Each structure stands twice: as C-alpha cells, then as structure tokens.
Chains A and B, each alone.
Chain A
Amino acid sequence: MSVAISLSKIGKSFSLSNNPSRNYFQLLFNLKKNKNSEKFIALNDITFNIFKGEALGIVGSNGSGKSTLLKIICGALEQSEGVYQVDGKIASLLELGSVFNPEFTGTENVRLAAAIYGLKIQTNDPTYNKIIDFSGLDPYYLSMPVKTYSSGMMLRLAFSIIINIKADIIIVDEALAVGDAYFNQKCIDFFKDFKKQGTLVLVSHSVGTIQSMCSRVVWIEGGSIQKIGSPKEVIEQYTNYLFSVKERIKKQRGVKNNRPNNIVENIDIWKSEDNSVELVDVSLIDKVEKIKTSLVSSKMKVSLKVELLIKSKLNEIIVGFYLKDKNGLNIFGDNTFVKYLREPISAFAGDRLICNFEFIFPRMPLGDYIISVACATGSQLDHEIKLWAHNALSISNIENHFSVGLVGLDSLDCTIQKVLKK
C-alpha cells in the first residue's frame, strides 16, 4: 500500500509566555527557540503513516492534541519538530463554514470557498451542480446572502463543498452530525463510497462512528500516541482509560489519591447531609472475560459492581442503578429492594457493601450510555436517598447491529407470505 500521509516525529509546542514579540524576532531573524522558556507541549513525537484508501480514526479526550495534529497535516499550523509528507490534495472539514462571508450569496460563497482550495468553478460546472445537489438547498436560497441561512443550511453547504472538490484525502473533525438525519445518512453513504478510492481521516468522540467507519484507529492522549491498531482493540483501551478513574487521576493530575479506594473524583455525587455513605467504586465487568469493561454489546453478560463505604449505622439499605442514554432518558434500572425484602440489610460505620447486579445487556442502539448509582434507606415507596452518583460510569454500546427506536427487538421470526393472484 502506498502512503498518503507520512508523519515522522511531529512535535508542536506553544509558548506559555504569551509574548508575541519574542515570537516575532525569532521568526524574523531565524533565531533558535529559547529552550528555557515555559512551553506547553501539544504534540510530542507523533510518528505514523496513513495509507491510501484507508479510513483512519483518531480518538483522544478533549485537549489531547487531535485538532492540532490535523491542523499541521492541513498545513495551517507549522510543526515545531519533525517532518511530514502528504501525497495528494487535502480537504478538511476542520473549518466548516469559516470561509463563508455572511453578506454574500450562497453561490458566491461556493465559488470563493472552492477557489481557496484551488478550484475554479462556474455556476454551470458539473462540480457546482454536484455541490448544490448534495447540499439539498433550495435554489432560491442560493441567491440569498449566507447570513439568512440557518446554521444547518450553512454547514450542509460547507460540507458539500469540501467533499466535492476532488480531494484525495478528506479530514473530518467531529463534523458528521451536521444536518438532519437524512443529510447525515447521505454523508455516511458518501464516506463509505469515498473510502474505495480516497483516504479518510476521521476524528470523533463517538466511538460508535469510528467503529463503523474506520479500519484503523490511532489513540492520542496528552500529545503522544498511546496506541495504534484495529478499532476494537484501540477503542476498548481508550474507553477503559476514559472511564477508569484511577488512570485518569494518575496521568492528568499526578495527584495522590488519599481516599480509601479509587473513588470517582469528577462525577456528580449528591449526598444527604449526614454523609453516611461514600461511593468507593463502580465498575462494569464482562462476565465471560472476567475483566472490567466499558464497551458493551447486545446479549453480553455483564455485572455492575457498586462498592460503598458506610460511615454511620444504616438500616434497610437499598442500592440501585439507572442506565440513561445521552439525552438523559432512563432506559432501565434495578435495585436490591425486592431481593432483600424479607431480611433488609443493615450496616455499621466502617462496613463495606459490595453489590453486584448481574444482567444480560439488552439490544439497544449504538452509542454512549451513562449509569447512575444510588443508595437509599427505607422501602421502594418510602425511602430516603443517602447518595446519588449521577454519572458514575459511562459505557458505550458498540455492537454494530441495526436497531430502530430505543429498544432493539429480539425477533423470533420474520417471514413474507406471498399469495398469488388467481
């Protein structure tokens, strides 16, 4: 396979002194960069190749350096170290709509945007028609100033320009969700088709999208490459990293955790005033592999482990959880009330409660879900909440199975009976 983009030891650092004049004299007189000055290292020693005809996904948490890397590849930003080579024309969706001038009409903006990419188009060109067709904009709007467009229309037009300028490499930065569902589907279809002859670089926080579109994934964290490999492998590690609290605290803050265990620090916990319960750990365990996981799929046997530390004596303890989708809609949940109805659990200060909810993960749409955990005392109807961790755990459903609506169907059979015309 031939290489479309080759990156070798790319590094980028920004000066923290915020002193543009120093930068000015360095550039003007070709001075060496002052090594001692305080710098923020955005990228460090990035080396990998992107092959022609491949769809490469880049994942990483916010501020990990993904966008900086893309800007360097596009040539908008200059790297501090290393070299890179690009074979082919790059179009990038980093800048959706940023070249548009609000006072000018859609047509004028299309021509200007295309010219910025070195393409001269007239209104009777096939390329122009393709752009307009793809955007699905009413011809009436094309003669109106872009400032009258809705943001969705503007993005659709920008998107259509980028993908129609005959680029060899398309870079998409978190922009697949630009329009309505119909347009989104059109974009995804386009990319699937484009992958056959072109190179696609995709940055997204939605691991589902990466999983379904890409053949290889690079995970960048803290400005350096953590892992390159197959989507499943990399995404699993990445999501584990993202949601495993222990690692996050160690790597990013370098702070020692003096709490009893790896309690979640950045989650939103509500506690009753007596502060009688503390959340120690929440984790989802794959029952088959017997490992912690944050990736689930339909019909997977999982166990949700909730560990609590009791600070003062409690009677009739109930522990429960909810699983919510990204819109905050409760999908399902369970609690220990019924199971321990006859002999309610009591605990004293210093006791630990380890609760396990074992269940088969239902068939659900792809995407990210959040698990909330709560602890209360009393009964199902009349209880007092002691602790409520709203986003204790985040998991992703990555099974690539078609599903309509909120719940997947465990279909038993599906047939068509044909009754012939007499």
Chain B
Amino acid sequence: MLELERIHSHLLWIGLACHFIGFDTLFMQAWRIREPVMWLTEYLTGNRKTYGMNKVGGVARDLPPDYMERILPVVGKIETETLGAVDAILGDSSLQARLAGTGVISYEDARAFCVVGPTARGSGVDIDARRDHPFAAYDELDFEVCVEQGGDIWARTLVRIRETMESIKMVRQLMKQMPGGPVMAEFDEIPPYRVGVSSVEAPRGEVHHYAMTGPDNRPYRWRVRAPSYNNLQIIPSMLHGQKIADAPISVGSLDPCFSCTERMAVIDQDSGEVKVYKQEELLEMFKKSKG
C-alpha cells in the first residue's frame, strides 16, 4: 500500500511542480496517469485516500482474492505511461534550464537542518528508512535508494522519478513474494509506561512516531513528526539569494500565490513595529493623498 501511495504521491508532485512553472500539459498528463492508482486503492481498501488499513497489530482487512489481476495491469500501465512522461521531462531542455541550479540545498545544510526523504536524497544525503530502519517487509525486498548529488530542484525531480520506477518494481516483487496468513497478530494488554519509536519512509520522507504507553490500555504520550516539519525549516536557507520568481517552485508544495497579497507592510526599522495595510486602507490613503 505504501508503495502505491508513493507512486501516486510522486506523480502528484511531478504534476504540481510542472504546474508551478507553467508546464500545464505535463501537469494534466501526470495526474491522468495517477488516477488509476486511486481507483485501485479504492478497490483494495474502500477509499481513494486515507485508506484506514493500519491497526496496532496488523491491518484492517486482507487483500481481495483477485488482487493480482487487479494490481498488476494497473502498475504495468502506469509504468509505460510514466516512462513516456519521464521522456518528456528529461528531454525538455527548457524544463531542465528552469529547475537546475534553482532551490539549491547543499549537503551540509541538508544534514544540519535534518531534512528527510527526497529533499535529503536530492542533496546527496544517503538515507532511507526503508533500508536503514526496515519496517514491514522492506528487509525482504530488493530496491535501490535513489540519491542525487545536485541539491537543486532538478535533482529532487530525478530522485522522485527514479523512486516511482523503484516503487513499481517493489509492488511486483511483493506480488510474487507475499505469503498468506492472518492479517492481525494476537496480543495481550499493552503494559504501561513503555516507550517505542518508529520510522516509516512516507513519500515526502520519514514519519516518526514516539509513543509512551499508559494505563487503561491507552497511550500516555504520543508524539508524531511528519517529514515536512523538518523540510520546511530549511526554506530560509534555500531561498536566500534567490530571485522572487524562483520562490514558488522552490517552496514547491507550499506554493504561495503572490498576486493574492493585496496588502503592504511598513516596518519601522528602529522599533521593529510592523503595520500591515489592507487593500481598503491603501485605497483610502491614495484618496487622501490625491485630495
């Protein structure tokens, strides 16, 4: 399921990234290619997104009996179509000119700010929880951790493209190797005040959970850290020295709409006092100055 999630998430990102820089044809194509993954997950879990499969001790339901016939053709089609889209991306010199050298995160910065996932791997940081802290069945799978050295958006694009293809490979391996058996483990009441940490390589990077068990078969403390929490902290260092025009694609998933900021801020250098004028206030000021 996680690899199907990664396929759709990376295709979503490729589409959005192309949209941010005005390449809407590829945006449409990437999302068209992605859609059958959602139909597939809906068939397997009942939901297009937020599958509700994970439970403490196992998963909520087994795969339907015809899962092979359902999954393999979809994955095959996505592979062919993604290869086509990747050809279009890699062969497009203006796309490369737009993304190479933009939004650069150095290896040192990536380490210092503890970024994770494709953001880290695009800057040459060779980490992947699927290999380094194996969970589920990842230690039985053969896959490559995709690392690029460039540190720019182009490198992060290459990482995500290669990972999409790796995920397709992994889904195929899983289909071959998956054993039968129960989907939930039996367990007794969970003892209180024990701690555990888990790390799961989500499409955007590691998700970490820290849990301290409590009395009454309930958690005492549960701390969760999503990958963006750390990836966002590097934005100031990444944007420094860049052009405003590069900010949206650099911030990527945070893409802000610049034209929507119909406000002006005036800052008093000495006191640090900030006054933000709204559109109406600005118009009022203009009227007064004309009057």
A and B pair up: no
